[in-house]
C-alpha cells in the first residue's frame, strides 16, 4: 500500500501536539497515529525513514515545509521490530482517541499511551513465545543497618529485580559484584536498568559486566530511599493483611532494585502500568551457580558460532508442548536445583511417566492445546486483551479440567487392572493435580457470554474499544458507522448473557425488521429498485438511490422526500419516517455496544481478581509439561535416572554428550561413551591425549550430565551418581577480546583466576588447556599452579585436560596412575590413537588410565589438508626435535638446512 500523508497534519492542533510530545519525550522516536497511518515528523522523520527504509517526504506547515514519513497501521508490528528489537530505540506511541464536541462534531484527542523499549514488550507478535523477555534492574545503592553507607563496592551486596512484562513473572534477589556477570548471563535480560548516576562511571563493576555481556542498558533518574519508597509502602499495605512487613521480606538492596524497576516501568508503560504484586524472592542457596563463561562455553542455550540454538543442550532436550513449559525449561537449565528433595520429586514424576507411556502421551496431547495463558492474563492486567483472549482463557480452563479428569481416570483404571497397584506411586502427581484450580465459576461466566467455538483469527470487533471505525459508504474518509448499516450482525457476547442483553437484542431485531419492511415498501411504492436506507456522517440518516436517473421520478414528486445531495449517478433524500426509525436503531445499537463493553470489562476485571491463583495453576502446568518432556527424552535417547547425593561422590558410567551423540547419529556414526569416577578422595583428574581425540567433549559432557541431573532430568549414561554441585565452572575454548585489549591468553588467565578464586569444595570445575597461550615453560608452570590450587585450596571435583604431559611427572605420577604427596587425590587418564600403518589411523575416544605423551598434532594438520611440502618439513622438524630432546640439546641452526628429504634418526643428521 502506498502511503499518502494525512491532510490533518496541517489543520487543528496536531502540529502543536507533535511538538509538545517531541519536547516531552526527546529520547524517543515519536510515532503519531493519524487515521489509518502512523506518521513521523520534523528531523525524526529522517531517521525513521532511514531505519525503516521507507520514503521520506515533506509537508507544508506554518509557512514552510517539514520532513515527514509514515506507514499503514497494518505494518506497525513489522516496523516496531526493526526499531525496538533490532535497533534498540525507544518508541513513543501517540494514539488517537475519538470524541464528539457538544455540537456533534467528531474530534480526536492524541496522547502518548506507552513507550516501547526492548524490555517492556507486552503482546507484540514478534515476541519469542519460547523465551522470557526480562527487564532487569540492578541497584548499586549501599546500605548498612542505619541506611546508606560508604562501603567499598567489593564488599557491598547489590540488589536485583527483574520482570517479564509480557507474562508478569517478577523476581528479586540479593547478589554481589563478584557474581553480577553470572547473574546477567543466567537471567539473560533483554534490557537492564541502572541509576543514571552510574552512567558516567565506565569503570563501575556493574557497567563493566554489562559491557562484557553486550547487554542493552537504560538509565533512569532515581534516588532510592528504602524506608521512604512509595512502592515499598504499597507493598507494606498489600502485606499488612497478612501481618507481614516488607522489611522482613526484602533486603534494602532488593527494595532499591524493585523501586528502580518500578520507576522505569511507570515512565514507559504509562497508561498500561499495572499494579505490581510482591516479587518472588530467588535464593542462591538452593540453586546451582553457573558462571557466565560456562553458560556460553557449554552452549546451554546458545551456540558459540552462529548465535542460534542449533546444537545446544536446550535444543537437544526440548520436548515441551507449551510456551510456558519451554520458558521454564530454559530457566531451569541455567539455574539447576541443589535441593535433593526437589530433584527427587521431579525424578519420581519422570519415572512415573516413563512407566506409563500411553498415559504420558495422552497428557501431552491435552497440553498441546493450551495457549500461552501467562501472556493472556498479563494483557488483561495491563488493560489490554480482547474477547478472543477471554475465549482462549476459558478454553484453557477446560484443558485443565481435562487433565485433572484424565489423571483420576488413569488412577482408577490402574487400581482396577493392576494386581500390584500401589497408591503411593500416585501421591506426587495427585498432589500436583490437586493444586490446579479449574475456576469453575469464572469459566461458567465466560461461557455464558461467548460462543465456545475458538479461533486464533482476530475477532471482528473488540468491545473494549469505544466504537468501531470502518469506511463510510459515501466517502473514502474513515467514519463511525452503525454496525447494522454495514451488514454487521455478529455480536461477540451472546444475547442470553443477561436480561438486559436479551431485551436489547430483541428490540434491535424488531427495529431492523421494520427497517427492512420500510425499505421494501419504499422500493415498491416509488418503483425504485436501487433505493436503500442508509446512514453516513455527511448526510446522516438518508434514503439513497444508486441509480437516480432511473428511480427518482416518483420520489421527486413526494414532499416527504427532501433532496440533500446529488452526484452524476446517485441522489440522497431526507425522510422523516426513516430518520425516526434510524434514530431508534442507532440508539439501540449504541446501547448494545456500551453493554458489550461493560460486560467485557466486568469479565476482564474478574480475571484480574484471580490473577495470582491463575498464575499458580499455570506454574503447575508448566512444571508438568517439563517433567513430561523429561520422560519423553529418557525414553527416546535411553537416559537413566541418576542418584543424587549430598556428598562429593561423582560416578558416571559410560556417559555421553547428548548434543554430540545426536550429531553423530545423524551422520550414521556412533558416539564413544566414557566413565568418570571421582570418589574416595580422588577428586581431580588430569587428562592428556591427542588433539581431536575427544578431551573437550568428555569435559563438556560431564558438566552437561551434572546440569541435567540437578534439573530433575534423567541423564545420558548407563548409570550415574552425582553429589550435589553448588557451583559449576569451565575454562574451555580460546578467543581474544581485541576491543578491550585482551589477548587470547589474557582472557584465559582471567577466566582461570575467577575459577580459582570462587570454587568451593562442592563445586565442579572443568579446565581445558590452561597455559597453552604462552611459552611451554610458562604455560607448564601456570598449569601446575592451577592444579595445585584446585587440589589444595579449592578441594573441589575437577577435570583438567592438557597437552603438557610433563605435568604428570611434576604431580608425582605413580604406577597406579595417581599422584603423590599432596596430589594423592589426582588420577591420570588419557585418550589415544589407533594406528593401522604410517598413513592410516583412528581416534579411540576411549578414556583410560595413563598419560599420553604425544599430541599427534601433525595428524590433525594432515586431516586439515596442509600441503605435502609443508607436512614434509613439519615431519623433519618434529623428528629432529625429538632426537635432540633425548640428547638434551636442540640445535636450532640446523633448521635452515632442512630439505624435503626425511632425516635419518640413526645418524642424527638431516
pLDDT tens digits for 780-790? Answer: 899 999 999 99
* Beta-sheet pairing, 91-100 with 106-116: antiparallel
Higher pLDDT, 225 or 885: 885
Residue 532 CB partners (closer than 8 Å, separation 6+): 519, 543, 544, 546
Beta bridge partners, 563, equal 573
Grid-cell match 501431552, residue found: 364
Burial 375-387 (b: 16+ CB within 10 A, else e): bbbbbbbbbbbbb
Q: Which fold has domain 339-439+610-635?
A: MutS, DNA mismatch repair protein; Chain A, domain 3 (1.10.1420)
Q: What angle do CA 558, 560, 562 make, to 5 degrees?
A: 90
Name the least confident of 468-472, 512-516, 679-683, 825-829: 468-472
Which three cell numbers mark 767? Answer: 579446565
Q: What is the CA radius of gyration of the chain?
A: 36
Say if residues 198 and 241 touch (Cβ distance below 8 Å): no
Rounded Cα distance between 841 and 856, Å, is 11
Instruction: Tell me what percent of the residues of the chain surpass a pLDDT of 90.
Output: 53
pLDDT of residue 517: 95
Question: Under DSSP, is residue 437 helix (H, G, I), strand (E, B) or coil?
Answer: coil
Which of 486-490, 840-844, 895-899 has the highest mean predicted lDDT (pLDDT)? Answer: 840-844
Which three cell numbers mark 4? Answer: 499518502
Rounded Cα distance between 71 and 1, Å, is 9
Asked whether this chain's domains 339-439+610-635 and 638-854 adopt the same fold, the reply is no
Q: What is the CATH number of domain 7-116?
A: 3.40.1170.10
Rounded Cα distance between 92 and 116, Å, is 6
- Determine whether domain 638-854 maps to CATH 3.50.20.10: no
Confidence of residue 679 (pLDDT cuts 50, 70, 90): confident
Residue 876 CB partners (closer than 8 Å, separation 6+): 898, 901, 902, 903, 910
Task: Please give the sequence-ordered ranges of beta strands (E in DSSP) within 537-633, or none if there are none.
Answer: 540-545, 561-566, 571-575
**Average pLDDT estimate for 656-664:** 92
Task: Please give the sequence-ordered ranges of beta strands (E in DSSP) within 14-146, or none if there are none.
Answer: 29-34, 37-41, 57-61, 64-72, 91-100, 106-116, 134-139, 143-144
Q: What angle do CA 868, 872, 875 make, to 5 degrees?
A: 135
**Average pLDDT estimate for 383-391:** 88
Q: Helices (DSSP H) in 450-496: which residue ranges?
A: none
Name the least confident of 241-255, 295-309, 700-714: 241-255
Instruction: Give the rounded distance of the alpha carbon of 317 from its chain centre.
Output: 17
Q: In CATH, which superfamily holds the domain spanning 134-282?
A: MutS, connector domain (3.30.420.110)
* Beta-sheet pairing, 57-61 with 64-72: antiparallel
Higher pLDDT, 897 or 169: 169
Higher pLDDT, 103 or 61: 61
On the question of pLDDT at 614 being above 60, the answer is: yes
Residue 529 CB partners (closer than 8 Å, separation 6+): 523, 547, 551
Which of 131-135, 445-449, 565-569 has the highest mean predicted lDDT (pLDDT)? Answer: 131-135
On the question of pLDDT at 467 being above 50, the answer is: no
CATH architecture classification, 469-592? Orthogonal Bundle (1.10)
Task: Please give the sequence-ordered ranges of beta strands (E in DSSP) within 169-225, or none if there are none.
Answer: 169-176, 191-195, 217-220
Its pTM stands at 0.85
Grid-cell match 531505519, residue found: 51
Beta bridge partners, 715, equal 640
Pick the closest to residue 45 from 31, 25, 35, 27 (CA basis).
Answer: 31
CA atoms within 13 A on the CB side of 93: 21
Question: Under DSSP, is residue 633 helix (H, G, I), strand (E, B) or coil?
Answer: helix
Question: Under DSSP, is residue 846 helix (H, G, I), strand (E, B) or coil?
Answer: coil
Say if residues 371 and 396 touch (Cβ distance below 8 Å): yes
Say if residues 811 and 845 touch (Cβ distance below 8 Å): no
The string of DSSP codes covering 192-233 is EEEEGGGTT-TT-HHHHHHHHHT--EEEE-----TTT-HHHH
Name the least confident of 169-178, 344-353, 415-424, 654-663: 415-424
Name the least confident of 108-122, 235-249, 381-395: 235-249
Domain chopping of the chain, boundaries: 7-116, 134-282, 339-439+610-635, 469-592, 638-854, 866-910
Say if residues 656 and 672 touch (Cβ distance below 8 Å): no
Q: What angle do CA 794, 799, 804 make, to 5 degrees?
A: 105
Amino acid at each position: 500500500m502506498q502511503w499518502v500523508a494525512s491532510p490533518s497534519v496541517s489543520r487543528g492542533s496536531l502540529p502543536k501536539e507533535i511538538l509538545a510530545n517531541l519536547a516531552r519525550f526527546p529520547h524517543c522516536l515519536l510515532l503519531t497515529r493519524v487515521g489509518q497511518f502512523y506518521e513521523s515528523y520534523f528531523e525524526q522523520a529522517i531517521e525513521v525513514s532511514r531505519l525503516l527504509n521507507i520514503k521520506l517526504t515533506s509537508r507544508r506547515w506554518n509557512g514552510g515545509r517539514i520532513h515527514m514519513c509514515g506507514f499503514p497501521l497494518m505494518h506497525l508490528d513489522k516496523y516496531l521490530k526493526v526499531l525496538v528489537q533490532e535497533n534498540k530505540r525507544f518508541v513513543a506511541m501517540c494514539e488517537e482517541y475519538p470524541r464528539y464536541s457538544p455540537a456533534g462534531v467528531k474530534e480526536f484527542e492524541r496522547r502518548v499511551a506507552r513507550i516501547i523499549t526492548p524490555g517492556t514488550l507486552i503482546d507484540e507478535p514478534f515476541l519469542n513465545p519460547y523465551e522470557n523477555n526480562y527487564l532487569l534492574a540492578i541497584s548499586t545503592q549501599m546500605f548498612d543497618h542505619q541506611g546508606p553507607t560508604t562501603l567499598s563496592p567489593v564488599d557491598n551486596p547489590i540488589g536485583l529485580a527483574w520482570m517479564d512484562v509480557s507474562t508478569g513473572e517478577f523476581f528479586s534477589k540479593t547478589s554481589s559484584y563478584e557474581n553480577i556477570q553470572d547473574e546477567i548471563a543466567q537471567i539473560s535480560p533483554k534490557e537492564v536498568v541502572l541509576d543514571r548516576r552510574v552512567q558516567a562511571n565506565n569503570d563501575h563493576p556493574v557497567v563493566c559486566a554489562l559491557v562484557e555481556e553486550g547487554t542493552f542498558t537504560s538509565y533512569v533518574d532515581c534516588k532510592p530511599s528504602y524506608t521512604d519508597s512509595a512502592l515499598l509502602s504499597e507493598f507494606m499495605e498489600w502485606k499488612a493483611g497478612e501481618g507481614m512487613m516488607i522489611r522482613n521480606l526484602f533486603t534494602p538492596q532488593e527494595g532499591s532494585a524493585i523501586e528502580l524497576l518500578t520507576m522505569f516501568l511507570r515512565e514507559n508503560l504509562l497508561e498500561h502500568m499495572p499494579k505490581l504484586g510482591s516479587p518472588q524472592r530467588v535464593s542462591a542457596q538452593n540453586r546451582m551457580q553457573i558462571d557466565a563463561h560456562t553458560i556460553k562455553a557449554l552452549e546451554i542455550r546458545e551456540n558459540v558460532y552462529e548465535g542460534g540454538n542449533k546444537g545446544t543442550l536446550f535444543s537437544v532436550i526440548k520436548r515441551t508442548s507449551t510456551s510456558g513449559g519451554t520458558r521454564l525449561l530454559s530457566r531451569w537449565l541455567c539455574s539447576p536445583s541443589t535441593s535433593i528433595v526437589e530433584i527427587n520429586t521431579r525424578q519420581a514424576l519422570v519415572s512415573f511417566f516413563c512407566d506409563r507411556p500411553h498415559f504420558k502421551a495422552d497428557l501431552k496431547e491435552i497440553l498441546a492445546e493450551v495457549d500461552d495463558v501467562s501472556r493472556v492474563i498479563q494483557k488483561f492486567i495491563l488493560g489490554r486483551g480482547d474477547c478472543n483472549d477471554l475465549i482462549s482463557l476459558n478454553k484453557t480452563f477446560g484443558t485443565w479440567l481435562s487433565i485433572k479428569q484424565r489423571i483420576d481416570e488413569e488412577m482408577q483404571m490402574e487400581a482396577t487392572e493392576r494386581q500390584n497397584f500401589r497408591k503411593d506411586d500416585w501421591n506426587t502427581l495427585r498432589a500436583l493435580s490437586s493444586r490446579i484450580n479449574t475456576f469453575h465459576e469464572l469459566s461458567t461466566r465466560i461461557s455464558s457470554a461467548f460462543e465456545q467455538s475458538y479461533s486464533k483469527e482476530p475477532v471482528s470487533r473488540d468491545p473494549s474499544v469505544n466504537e468501531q471505525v470502518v469506511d463510510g459508504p459515501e466517502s473514502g474518509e474513515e467514519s463511525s458507522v452503525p454496525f447494522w448499516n454495514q451488514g454487521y450482525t455478529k455480536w461477540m457476547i451472546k444475547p442470553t448473557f443477561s436480561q438486559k442483553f436479551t431485551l436489547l437484542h430483541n428490540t434491535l431485531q424488531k427495529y431492523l425488521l421494520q427497517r427492512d419492511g420500510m425499505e421494501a415498501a419504499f422500493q415498491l411504492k416509488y418503483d425504485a429498485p436501487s433505493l436503500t436506507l442508509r446512514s453516513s456522517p455527511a448526510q446522516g440518516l438518508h434514503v439513497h438511490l444508486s441509480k437516480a436517473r432511473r428511480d427518482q421520478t416518483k420520489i421527486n414528486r413526494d414532499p416527504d422526500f427532501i433532496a440533500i445531495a446529488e452526484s452524476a449517478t446517485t441522489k440522497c433524500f431526507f425522510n422523516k419516517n426513516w430518520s425516526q426509525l434510524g434514530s431508534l436503531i442507532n440508539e439501540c445499537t449504541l446501547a448494545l455496544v456500551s453493554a458489550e463493553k461493560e460486560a467485557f470489562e466486568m469479565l476482564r476485571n474478574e480475571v484480574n481478581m484471580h490473577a495470582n491463583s491463575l498464575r499458580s495453576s499455570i506454574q503447575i502446568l508448566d512444571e508438568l509439561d517439563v517433567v513430561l518432556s523429561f520422560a519423553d527424552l529418557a525414553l527416546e535417547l535411553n537416559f537413566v535416572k541418576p542418584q543424587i547425593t549430598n556428598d562429593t561422590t561423582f560416578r558416571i558410567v559410560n556417559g555421553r554428550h547428548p548434543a554430540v551423540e545426536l550429531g553423530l547419529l545423524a551422520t550414521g556414526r556412533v558416539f564413544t561413551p566414557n566413565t568418570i569416577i571421582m570418589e574416595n578422595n580422588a577428586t581431580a583428574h588430569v587428562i592428556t591425549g591427542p588433539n581431536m581425540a575427544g578431551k573437550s567433549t568428555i569435559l563438556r559432557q560431564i558438566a552437561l550430565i551434572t546440569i541435567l541431573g540437578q534439573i530433575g532430568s534423567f541423564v545420558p549414561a548407563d548409570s550415574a551418581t552425582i553429589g550435589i554441585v553448588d557451583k559449576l565452572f569451565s575454562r574451555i575454548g580460546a578467543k581474544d577480546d581485541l576491543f578491550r585489549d585482551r589477548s587470547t591468553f589474557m582472557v584465559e588467565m582471567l577466566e582461570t583466576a575467577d575459577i580459582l578464586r570462587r570454587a568451593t569444595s562442592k563445586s565442579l570445575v572443568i579446565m581445558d588447556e590452561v597455559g597453552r597461550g604462552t611459552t611451554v615453560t610458562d604455560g607448564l608452570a601456570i598449569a601446575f599452579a592451577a592444579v595445585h590450587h584446585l587440589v589444595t585450596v579449592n578441594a573441589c571435583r575437577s577435570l583438567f585436560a592438557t597437552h603438557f604431559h610433563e605435568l604428570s611427572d611434576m604431580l608425582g605420577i605413580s604406577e597406579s596412575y595417581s599422584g603423590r604427596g599432596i596430589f594423592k587425590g589426582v588420577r591420570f587418564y588419557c585418550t589415544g590413537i589407533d594406528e593401522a600403518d604410517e598413513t592410516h589411523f583412528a581416534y579411540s575416544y576411549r578414556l583410560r588410565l595413563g598419560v599420553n605423551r604425544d599430541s599427534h598434532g601433525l595428524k590433525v594438520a594432515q586431516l586439515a589438508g596442509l600441503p605435502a611440502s609443508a607436512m614434509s618439513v613439519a615431519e623433519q622438524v618434529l623428528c629432529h626435535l625429538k632426537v635432540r630432546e633425548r640428547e638434551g640439546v636442540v640445535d636450532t641452526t640446523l633448521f635452515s638446512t632442512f630439505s624435503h628429504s626425511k632425516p635419518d634418526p640413526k645418524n642424527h643428521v638431516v
